[in-house]
Structure 1
């Protein structure tokens, strides 16, 4: 059996999904894709990719913390972008949340 969680530290789901689902035995965790919304569901950093990356990673960190996890537990991370230059310019922010070996 799986357990679903919607931590109060991040925005409330607005659709038919949970923020995180833990597979039986607690070995495999699936996180809902995160975006740059604050706890009230308001966009953070509109037009500012660096602010959006930071908020998104803070959301992921908060969801993991709510179930006893940490950023180092992440095996794979997918970031979608429409501007590769801005993506490359936000690499230092990702390094604040992850260390080698990176997910």
Structure 2
């Protein structure tokens, strides 16, 4: 893969990277986002896991839209949860962002997320 084939996707409508990575990378007709925490572009977290899940997916949507993609282009998601007990709550929010046919998905509980987040979501989209 050469640098010419790869394009960095960035938007101010989602939090900027907090390390040496991109919000997303486009390669051909595929976009891979970095994990999006449930914080707004100003770096503020809502209190509840449902609001953080909503913000995380809102961030994903903003990044995709910056590349002229939409949520219906998402084919795979990975959901990282601080507490697997929040799975159903996150599912309820998740279902408001996706329609059938749903993307493939993995969900895992992790010991800790950056900045004390409760949920982080990354996606792969293909157009």
Decide: shared fold, TM above 0.5: yes
Q: Does 1:13 align with 2:14?
A: no
Instruction: Measure, in 1, the Cα distance between the counterparts of 2:65 and 2:35.
Output: 16
Equivalent runs, 1:52-71 vs 2, <5 Å:
52-71=52-71
- Segments of structure 1 that go 5 or more residues without pairing to the other structure are none
Larger strand fraction of residues: 2
Q: 1:29 aligns with which of 22, 28, 31?
A: 31
Larger helix fraction of residues: 1
- Give the alignment's Cα RMSD to 1 decimal: 1.3
Instruction: Measure, in 2, the Cα distance between the counterparts of 1:82 and 1:14.
Output: 19
Structure 1 stretch displaced more, 9-18 or 81-90: 81-90
Instruction: Measure, in 2, the Cα distance between the counterparts of 1:49 and 1:79.
Output: 12
Between the two structures, name the one with larger relative contact order (CA 8 Å, sep ≥ 6).
2
Instruction: Measure, in 2, the Cα distance between the counterparts of 1:90 and 1:40.
Output: 22
Instruction: Measure, in 2, the Cα distance between the counterparts of 1:89 and 1:11.
Output: 23
TM-score normalised to structure 1 length: 0.87
Q: Does 1:50 align with 2:50?
A: yes
Count of aligned positions: 99
- Segments of structure 2 that go 5 or more residues without pairing to the other structure are 104-127
Instruction: Measure, in 2, the Cα distance between the counterparts of 1:37 and 1:92.
Output: 18
